[in-house]
Chains A and B, each alone.
Chain A
Amino acid sequence: MENLIKIIKRDQPSRTIFFLTPVLAIFLTLVAGGLIFYILGFEPFEALKFFFIVPIADMYGFSELLLKATPLCLIAIGLSFCFKSNNWNIGAEGQLTFGAIVSGGVALLFYNQEGFYILPIVILAGAIGGMLYASIPAILKTYFNTNEILVSLMLVYVSKLILDYLVVGPWSNPEGFNFPETRQFSDSARLPLLAEGLRIHAGIFLALAAVVISWFIFYKTYLGFQMKVSGFSLKTAKYAGYKGKKMIILVFLISGACAGLAGVGEITGPIGQLHREVSPDYGFTAIIVAFLGRLNPVGIIFASLIVAITYLGAETAQIFMQIPKYTGQVFQGMILFFLLASDYLLFFKIKFIGSKK
């Protein structure tokens, strides 16, 4: 008896499959998720409904989805600059945190002042903070040949410790009984809300602008072309005479700025102060978003919405069905797992052949 299935290498990665695998990955995640619910003793369709439909069934829920997706989208757009060009920035969470620290510090300077000029300064400070922090792995990579994965990842923990130090010590609210949090920012340092009663804020426009600008850079500029070539083959890029170092630093700076802005959005949007937990690991989750969106700006919009709903759904499922909230993370993990697994189909095709006895 011979093999019934034959695996054949493709001559060219399939373009259709390239955009179909994320859909396949989501489908498989839903099937596997339903199966897990079933094994745990929950009615699978009911559970999936509470996970993916109920949380966004009203205007408020939908606004919360956008609120959650905004930082994910923004960071993932930034990361796609790095990932497209073979630069593995794993430290967006640190860049977000440092951006939040710098912009928060500026916002605290103006804590008892109002004025139209405050918010732009605060936003700019956040972008600069993120860029500064991203420049560390970039410079170490280009001039000292260090591994950017390790450096950027380790710097995440450094940034969180700096934030801890500041909110516990010098920046803690003098009227706050030494609890680890700063004063509340003044209204002028807060991003304007889009509707009263909802938390969705003007930060969403930053994310949308990032989508448009990145699309333009990726597909219409020389830099985008350079990034693409470097992504396919570093040797080719060198042979073509591209100035690799400059590009590496540039993509890290863009990525850091986006993560820093995401940090600004959190602290000047829904939170309104600095404390120890400005982000529930958006910087790491955005890596899943970037890949699920195929490093394509439009794809990233959809991916950020899908991943955002796993957060919301996990809360709803626990409130209404007592499903442990950590299943949200299981879903995020499964999406990435199935995506990477189905990427196999990009390079290989499976052929079914009749059995021969």
Chain B
Amino acid sequence: MHKIFIRSFVSSLVFLFTFTVASVAKDVKAAFVYIGPTGDHGWTYQHDVGRKAVEAAGYKTTFVEGVPESADAERVLRQLANSGHDIIFTTSFGYMNPTNKVAKEFPNVKFEHATGYKREHSNVSTYAARFYEGRTILGTIAGSMTKSNVIGYVASFPIPEVIRGINSFTLAAQKVNPNIKTKIVWAFTWYDPGKEAEAAKALIDQGADIIAQHTDSTAIVQIAEKAGVYAFGQASDMDKFAPKAVLTSVENNWGPYYVDRVKAVANGTWNQKDTWHGIGDGMVVISDLDSALPADLKAKVNQLEKDLASGKVHSFTGPIYDQKGNLMVAEGKTADDGMLAGMMTYVKGVEGDIPK
């Protein structure tokens, strides 16, 4: 009923467009909805790199950037679904409810929502990356390279995704250097160069000689470059913004997944999935290691990357204790995906409390 009603309101103009698109080429058309500008060199930039991979594979794509997570998201989604797109990727958590709502009205259009957990209709899939595997590598490098044993970490929001990253990073750093402390500053933003720079400065003032980040701008690595401390790039290879400071970056590599899913629509093999890929599937990529890393560390990191990819090493292998000393994961066990998905406690060695 709902659907029929909506269809009846499809305009002659929009209809005309659907028609022309359909008659020009019967190819699958993919659309991407972005939270930020394509030039942010972080989250959205990497999704757009993925979109270009889809184009390169011979499919037509459309994108809309800077779509707020307010009431506007739903309209953009409906318009894309209405204008001949067969698969729509919504690349921010806040699009979760609008994605499911619009998916109900357009059962023939496939929806792919990044980082969410709701799949209320059979045409909605979700996907995310195991970025924490990349942070295991960063933690290993940080623990080995720090002289002050204080590592700074600029975090965005206190959600499981971010807490998981902090923990994975800290556990890996402790493994190579039991004396390290991770200091966190919460920026409460995903992208705000000004705030991120302030946070980085505060951490450097507190003695941190390596800064990790879970925010998207290049401000932090640039501050680190100026202050003469080390840093890690986020989302894309940020080496060119701070060649001396950046030891490596964790890159979000969405292209293979996007191409795969669009192809699946073309072949008629698309089905609902909940995807959580890591280094092994190539969704998380470690950039080239900086020349500042000693040769033995480089070798160690390369081996670790291989072991994480093959599953020989898991980022959360027990024994793991929380800040109060309670056992979280027993010796010889690894944390399961359920625990990882809802992780809201710091491990031992992280300073401070999670903002509540």
The contact of A319 among B6, B13, B66, B79, by CB within 8 Å, is B79
Q: Nearest CB to that of B14 among chain A residues?
A: A58
The contact of B79 among A180, A270, A316, by CB within 8 Å, is A316
Which segment of A12-20, A31-39, A114-122, A275-283 sits at the interface? A275-283
Q: Is A1 close to B, CB under 8 A?
A: no
Chain A residues contacting B83 (CB-CB under 8 Å) are 319-320
Tell whether, in the assembled complex, residue A178 and residue B97 are in contact, meaning their CB atoms are under 8 Å apart: no
Tell whether, in the assembled complex, residue B71 and residue A179 are in contact, meaning their CB atoms are under 8 Å apart: no
Question: In chain A, residues 194-229, which have Cβ atoms closer than 8 Å to a Cβ of chain B?
Answer: 196-199
- Report the bound CA distance from A60 to B94 in whole Å: 23
Tell me the smallest distance from the CB of A265 to a CB of chain B, in Å.
Answer: 9
Tell whether, in the assembled complex, residue B65 and residue A325 are in contact, meaning their CB atoms are under 8 Å apart: yes
Tell whether, in the assembled complex, residue A60 and residue B341 are in contact, meaning their CB atoms are under 8 Å apart: no
Tell whether, in the assembled complex, residue B159 and residue A178 are in contact, meaning their CB atoms are under 8 Å apart: yes
Q: Is B37 close to A, CB under 8 A?
A: yes
Q: Is A78 close to B, CB under 8 A?
A: no
Q: Nearest CB to that of B74 among chain A residues?
A: A270
- Report the bound CA distance from A315 to B91 in whole Å: 16
**Chain B 274-314 interface 0/1 with A at a Cβ cutoff of 8 Å (1 = within):** 00000000000000000000000000000000000000000
Tell whether, in the assembled complex, residue B76 and residue A58 are in contact, meaning their CB atoms are under 8 Å apart: no
Tell whether, in the assembled complex, residue A180 and residue B65 are in contact, meaning their CB atoms are under 8 Å apart: no
- Report the bound CA distance from A178 to B345 in whole Å: 12
- Report the bound CA distance from A64 to B93 in whole Å: 23
Q: Is B185 close to A, CB under 8 A?
A: no
Pick the most buried of B62, B72, B97: most chain A CB atoms within 10 A of its CB: B72
Q: Is A266 close to B, CB under 8 A?
A: yes
Q: Is A177 close to B, CB under 8 A?
A: yes
Tell me the smallest distance from the CB of B112 to a CB of chain A, in Å.
Answer: 18
Tell whether, in the assembled complex, residue B71 and residue A67 are in contact, meaning their CB atoms are under 8 Å apart: yes
Question: In chain B, residues 41-84, which have Cβ atoms closer than 8 Å to a Cβ of chain A?
Answer: 62-72, 74-76, 78-80, 83
Q: Is B269 close to A, CB under 8 A?
A: no
Tell whether, in the assembled complex, residue A179 and residue B70 are in contact, meaning their CB atoms are under 8 Å apart: no
Question: In chain B, residues 336-356, which have Cβ atoms closer than 8 Å to a Cβ of chain A?
Answer: 341-342, 344, 355-356
With A197-B6, A280-B70 known as contacts, the answer to whether A272 contacts B97 (CB < 8 A) is yes
With A168-B157, A315-B76, A316-B79 known as contacts, the answer to whether A58 contacts B71 (CB < 8 A) is no
- Report the bound CA distance from A349 to B2 in whole Å: 57
Tell me the smallest distance from the CB of A330 to a CB of chain B, in Å.
Answer: 12
Chain B residues contacting A318 (CB-CB under 8 Å) are 63-65
**Chain B 4-15 interface 0/1 with A at a Cβ cutoff of 8 Å (1 = within):** 011001111110
Chain A residues contacting B117 (CB-CB under 8 Å) are 177
With A54-B13, A168-B157, A177-B117 known as contacts, the answer to whether A197 contacts B2 (CB < 8 A) is yes
The contact of B12 among A58, A180, A322, by CB within 8 Å, is A58
Chain B residues contacting A67 (CB-CB under 8 Å) are 71
Q: Is B158 close to A, CB under 8 A?
A: yes
Tell whether, in the assembled complex, residue B66 and residue A271 are in contact, meaning their CB atoms are under 8 Å apart: no
Q: Is A241 close to B, CB under 8 A?
A: no
Q: Is B193 close to A, CB under 8 A?
A: no
Q: Nearest CB to that of B17 among chain A residues?
A: A320
Q: Nearest CB to that of A160 among chain B residues?
A: B188
Tell whether, in the assembled complex, residue A324 and residue B75 are in contact, meaning their CB atoms are under 8 Å apart: no
Tell whether, in the assembled complex, residue B2 and residue A277 are in contact, meaning their CB atoms are under 8 Å apart: no
Q: Is B318 close to A, CB under 8 A?
A: no
Tell whether, in the assembled complex, residue A270 and residue B69 are in contact, meaning their CB atoms are under 8 Å apart: no
- Report the bound CA distance from A174 to B71 in whole Å: 23
Chain B residues contacting A324 (CB-CB under 8 Å) are 65
Question: In chain A, residues 272-312, which have Cβ atoms closer than 8 Å to a Cβ of chain B?
Answer: 272-273, 275-280, 311-312
Q: Is A57 close to B, CB under 8 A?
A: yes
Pick the most buried of A67, A161, A184, A271: most chain B CB atoms within 10 A of its CB: A271
Chain A residues contacting B93 (CB-CB under 8 Å) are 179
Tell whether, in the assembled complex, residue B9 and residue A197 are in contact, meaning their CB atoms are under 8 Å apart: yes
Tell whether, in the assembled complex, residue A179 and residue B13 are in contact, meaning their CB atoms are under 8 Å apart: no
**Chain A 337-349 interface 0/1 with B at a Cβ cutoff of 8 Å (1 = within):** 0000000000000
Tell whether, in the assembled complex, residue A177 and residue B341 are in contact, meaning their CB atoms are under 8 Å apart: yes
Tell whether, in the assembled complex, residue A325 and residue B64 are in contact, meaning their CB atoms are under 8 Å apart: yes
Tell whether, in the assembled complex, residue A57 and residue B62 are in contact, meaning their CB atoms are under 8 Å apart: no
Q: Is A187 close to B, CB under 8 A?
A: no
Tell me the smallest distance from the CB of B345 to a CB of chain A, in Å.
Answer: 11
Tell me the smallest distance from the CB of B40 to a CB of chain A, in Å.
Answer: 12
- Report the bound CA distance from A312 to B14 in whole Å: 14
Tell me the smallest distance from the CB of A278 to a CB of chain B, in Å.
Answer: 6
Q: Nearest CB to that of B13 among chain A residues?
A: A57
Tell me the smallest distance from the CB of A169 to a CB of chain B, in Å.
Answer: 5
Tell me the smallest distance from the CB of A284 to a CB of chain B, in Å.
Answer: 13
Tell whether, in the assembled complex, residue A278 and residue B79 are in contact, meaning their CB atoms are under 8 Å apart: no
- Report the bound CA distance from A196 to B9 in whole Å: 11
Q: Is A4 close to B, CB under 8 A?
A: no
Tell whether, in the assembled complex, residue B70 and residue A279 are in contact, meaning their CB atoms are under 8 Å apart: yes
The contact of B11 among A58, A181, A270, by CB within 8 Å, is A58
Tell whether, in the assembled complex, residue B5 and residue A319 are in contact, meaning their CB atoms are under 8 Å apart: no
Q: Is A354 close to B, CB under 8 A?
A: no
- Report the bound CA distance from A54 to B188 in whole Å: 38
- Report the bound CA distance from A199 to B342 in whole Å: 33
Q: Nearest CB to that of A64 among chain B residues?
A: B75
**Chain B 133-175 interface 0/1 with A at a Cβ cutoff of 8 Å (1 = within):** 0000000000000000000000001111000000000000000
Q: Nearest CB to that of A273 among chain B residues?
A: B97
**Chain A 47-69 interface 0/1 with B at a Cβ cutoff of 8 Å (1 = within):** 00000001001111100100100
Pick the most buried of A58, A170, A178, A326: most chain B CB atoms within 10 A of its CB: A178
- Report the bound CA distance from A60 to B5 in whole Å: 10
With A60-B11, A277-B69, A280-B68 known as contacts, the answer to whether A178 contacts B342 (CB < 8 A) is yes
Q: Which 5 A-B pairs have the closest CB atoms?
A: A58-B11, A270-B71, A197-B5, A280-B68, A60-B9
Q: A199-B74, A269-B71, A315-B72 are in contact. List 9 more A-B contacts (CB 8 A).
A: A58-B9, A59-B11, A177-B160, A178-B158, A179-B93, A180-B159, A196-B1, A196-B2, A271-B71
Supply 12 A–B pairs (Cβ within 8 Å), ascending by A.
A57-B11, A57-B14, A168-B159, A170-B356, A177-B341, A179-B159, A181-B94, A197-B5, A280-B72, A311-B72, A319-B80, A320-B83
Task: Report B's interface with A, CB cutoff 8 A.
Answer: 1-2, 5-6, 9-14, 17, 31, 37, 62-72, 74-76, 78-80, 83, 93-94, 97, 117, 157-160, 188, 341-342, 344, 355-356
